[in-house]
Amino acid sequence: MTGRAGLHQSNCGHGVGHEEFFSKTRIVFSIHNMAYQGLFNPTDLWWLDLSAYADDFMLSDAASALKAGVIAADAISTVSPRYAQEIQTSAQGYGLEWLIRIRSDRLAGITNGVDYEVWNSETDPNIAANFSADDLSGKKECKLDLLRRFALPEEPERPIIAIISRLVSQKGYDLIQQAARGILDTGAFFIALGAGAKEYEDFLQSWHDLAPHRVGIYKGFAGEPLAHQIEAGADLFLMPSLYEPCGLNQMYSMRYGTVPVVRATGGLDDTVQSFDPKTLTGTGFKFEPYSAGGYA
């Protein structure tokens, strides 16, 4: 089964009229993360009326909704150009790299966008003071406000390194664990917002307990206002991801005068221009090797 000759021409119990009505419909399938494939028990294909297409779903011993979607689609997109290339490799294809390569003539990487009416330091109602690239005076007030919110000393001369993410291995938290002492040795504050794996939640808690005047944490998702306040008050935003289909926080950060420090993977590599000390151009700092000393 390839292209339109596949899944979306099934009767699915609705009769010929339904099938004919949708016969000219085209499908664009957008892949946001190959690691999350919608795997389910193959026996469920029967009551979904998709048993005839079992081969198009099967991946090892499970049924993969993502695999079937890729096969049935007329066009396939990802959320960044580099990620469109990366999912064709065994490292990031999660067992479907062969299928993506076969359908690569229908594949396009389209970078995620940001709503700058919502994420705008000049008009944002969620932050302590508004500011712009031409007048950064309000950012210091946002920084002080952020330190107060996390009960950290009001020492604005210290840089604030921040991260907002799910606490999962994809987001590079094992690198943060390895770099924890080095981060504090720089004299910086570290602020983290997120929830996820108990291993990383415990790590953040123990790090905070060890250095309560330097490390601020919020375990959970407090809603969008706190995320805005962190973006506005931080000096550096850390995204050391193992892989990142696109990412949005690096783009929010650049809009709020907060320098992104990212691993050069997926959309992070596409959207952040590495700083060049010779020309004084760039929008952030990138490192390639997946190691805590990758930028050294």
16 has pLDDT over 60: no
- The domain 137-287 is classified under which CATH number: 3.40.50.1360, 3.30.70.920, 3.40.50.720, 3.40.50.2000? 3.40.50.2000
| 22 or 259, greater pLDDT | 259
| 12 or 250, greater pLDDT | 250
pTM exceeds 0.95: no
Residues 6+ apart with CB under 8 A from 220: 194, 195
Residue with tokens 């929008």: 283
13 has pLDDT over 60: no
Tell which residue, 267, 261, 288, has the closest CA to residue 162: 261
9 has pLDDT over 70: no
pLDDT at 2 (0 to 100)? 39
Tell which residue, 152, 127, 167, 154, has the closest CA to residue 255: 127
User: How much of the chain, in percent, has pLDDT values that exceed 90?
Assistant: 88
Distance CA 165, CA 292 (A): 18
- For residues 63 and 42, the answer to whether their CB atoms sit within 8 Å is yes
Domains 3-109 and 137-287 share a fold: yes
Distance CA 233, CA 215 (A): 15
- For residues 190 and 216, the answer to whether their CB atoms sit within 8 Å is yes
Q: Where are the domains of the chain?
A: 3-109, 137-287
pLDDT at 70 (0 to 100)? 97
At the topology level, CATH places domain 3-109 in Rossmann fold (3.40.50)
Distance CA 179, CA 21 (A): 58
Tell which residue, 246, 230, 272, 279, has the closest CA to residue 287: 272
pLDDT at 10 (0 to 100)? 40
Encode pLDDT of 250-269 as tens digits: 999 999 999 999 999 999 99
Residue with tokens 């009326």: 49
5 has pLDDT over 70: no
Average pLDDT, the chain: 92
pLDDT at 18 (0 to 100)? 65
pLDDT at 15 (0 to 100)? 47
User: How much of the chain, in percent, has pLDDT values that exceed 70?
Assistant: 93
Distance CA 182, CA 190 (A): 11
Encode pLDDT of 87-146 as tens digits: 999 999 999 999 999 999 999 999 999 999 999 999 999 999 999 999 999 999 999 999
For residue 34, give both structure tokens: 């190959």
Encode pLDDT of 173-224 as tens digits: 999 999 999 999 999 999 999 999 999 999 999 999 999 999 999 998 877 9
